[in-house]
Amino acid sequence: MKPANSREKIEGRKAPDASRLVDIRFPVQVSGDPARVRQAIAKTLGCRVDAISDYRVMRKNLDARKRPVLAMWRVEVALEDEVLPPNEPAVTNFSALPEDARAVHIVGAGPAGLYAALSLIQHGLRPVIIERGQPVRQRRRDLVSITREHRVDPDSNYCFGEGGAGTYSDGKLYTRSHKRGDIRGALEWLVQFGADPSILVDAHPHIGTNKLPQIIERMREAVVAAGGHVHFGSRVVDITAPSGRVEALEWVDSATGERTRAEAQHVILATGHSARDVFELVDSKGWTLEAKPFAMGVRIEHPQTLIDAIQYHGEERGEVLPPASYRLVCQANGRGVHSFCMCPGGIVAPCATEQEQVVTNGWSPSKRNNPYANSGMVVQLEPADWEALGFRGVLGGLAFQRHVERICWEAAGQSQRAPAQRLADFLASKRGRVSKHLPTCSYVPGVVSVNLRELLPAVISDALAKGLATFGKRMPRYLDQDALLIAPESRTSSPVRIPRDRENLMHPDVNGLFPCGEGGGYAGGILSAALDGMRVAAAIAAK
């Protein structure tokens, strides 16, 4: 085949620890051509092309540092009369639990809670999930009413409800916590419940908002079919542990206000980073909590075509290249500034969990085919930062988050509209200036022109301005006229850690209470939360 351009070259090497695993690199635009792939393998192995009887892609990545963008694949190869060994994703049988299976209560049906439930079934324990929000389908209606009517249901919204905060998201499944558990196993469950098997191969897999709800629904169906229980619309308001050992849980039905009390011995607390009432409950009991650093800032939105042009050096994206993403990080004013949860081809979403606040985050459909690219752009904050502003105590970070979310709500007219500013105006001078006109953007409730440089606390806006200017030096077109900042991005992670013993994973003050997932401070995304759920379930089974 004719080379795609004169600089095209094939590179490769044998993977270090396996005779038939080969790493190859070749221009991504020809990756749909099996003949080229065989050529690359043959060159790397030093064999004839016709000696390759079969191959299978084990890992797919891109190298977009230069033009042409290269595909970086790890392939497993069969030569001559060899046959590739089977490599089907494992399918787990979540078989029916025996009548006398012991119950474990799980508060929260996010990735941590759901994966804990599925793992408990494997261990012969009966999960009983208590979830404040609604099942995924019903939850979708509550999301529409945030966008259209600016009405936030405090129990069913972008953060709360079946599937947790990650349900209506980009569904990125990347984690750096490789030591935390069986990543392949966690991804295989997603495939078993309907995700595309490509997530097992892609270096940066994602699922998309349109596909996640059905996968989550199927997970819940598997839990129920095995004999687990799920209570929706049930907000846990009390955990009783009079002598340092969990004895009961109490929840309120969000429709009727009716209270239910259930005896419980093992409780997995998987309530996520936005369950402020849960942190307050733990604190009110006198159980240990720890303040922890977190990051806060804004969402930044660009036209996706601009990000493609920057990242692919002007190379045509065509059918082969995915909508481009980016990761940016620098130091400014002695603190980290970084991009967070970048959503190519995505939408900026209204993620408040209470009426009088504005919170943003982002999601993308599986094809990532919206015309905008958005990302959190956040500043690392330490407890001393909010203490200096008068937000003291272990829940000071939470109060500071609330404060910023409220001033944004007030500044944008006390609705789910969000305050926004052109990036150029944010950087215009030391004090910024209000944008005369805002570009169109993906945030459906609407944006209001506000000088974010003055609205946001200086500890955030000063570092953000410096960080953005640094990113602009690295990628000049990033400071494009149509780049828009929308505030605030305030729920990056939990501002509080609920401590637990390193071995038995129980809270040090409360026997039987297992803090889990992102709310406890043990995860930072869908996959790491899922892995933590599996880990906690295994710890309970071992007990």
The contact set with ligand FAD (CB under 6 A) reads 107-113, 130-133, 158-161, 164-166, 168-172, 235-236, 270-272, 275, 277-278, 341, 349, 351, 361, 363, 517-519, 523, 525-527, 529
For ligand FAD, which is the closer residue by CB, 165 or 404?
165
CB of 177 to ligand FAD, least distance (A): 11
Are 264 and 240 contacting, i.e. CB atoms less than 8 angstroms apart?
Answer: no
CB of 73 to ligand FAD, least distance (A): 24
Alpha-carbon gap, residue 350 to 340, rounded angstroms: 16
Nearest residue (CB) to ligand FAD, 132 versus 335 = 132
Distance, in Å, from the CA atom of 478 to the CA atom of 467, rounded to the nearest integer, reads 12
CB of 24 closer than 8 Å to CB of 9: no
Kindly state the smallest distance separating residue 37's Cβ from ligand FAD, in Å: 30
Closer to ligand FAD by CB, 23 or 217: give it: 217
Quick check: 435 and 449 in contact, CB under 8 A? yes
Give the CA-trace dihedral at 266, 270, 271, 277, to 10 degrees.
40
Residue whose CB is less far from ligand FAD, 236 or 296: 236
CB of 533 to ligand FAD, least distance (A): 7
- Shortest Å distance, C-beta 403 to ligand FAD: 20
Sign, Cα dihedral of 241, 246, 247, 250: positive
CB-wise, 74 or 273, nearer to ligand FAD?
273
Rank residues 68 and 161 by Cβ distance to ligand FAD and give the closer one: 161
The CA distance from 45 to 55, in Å, is 13
Please, which residue, 27 or 233, has the CB nearer to ligand FAD?
Answer: 233
Chain centre distance of CA 169: 7
Give strand pairing partners of 290.
Answer: 497
Cβ proximity to ligand FAD, 113 vs 345, nearer residue: 113
User: Of all helices (H) and strands (E), which one includes residue 263?
Assistant: strand 259-263
Helix (H) or strand (E) holding 461: helix 458-474
Task: Identify which of residues 161 and 457 has a Cβ nearer to ligand FAD in the complex.
Answer: 161
Q: Rounded to the nearest whole angstrom, what is the least distance from the CB of residue 59 to ligand FAD in the complex?
A: 19
Element spanning 463, H or E: helix 458-474
d(CA 293, CA 478): 28
H or E stretch at 487: strand 484-489
69: DSSP letter: P
* Cβ 209 to ligand FAD shortest distance, Å: 9
Beta-strand relationship, 418-422 and 447-449: parallel
Strand partners, 179: none
Give the shortest CB-156-to-ligand FAD separation in angstroms. 8
CA dist 411 and 351 (Å) reads 17
Closer residue to ligand FAD in complex, CB, 108/445: 108
Q: Using alpha carbons, select from 309, 303, 402, 301 the residue that is nearest to residue 352.
A: 402
What is the nearest approach in angstroms of ligand FAD to the Cβ of residue 235?
Answer: 5
- State CA 11 to chain mean position distance: 34
Q: How far is the CB of 481 from ligand FAD (least distance, A)?
A: 27
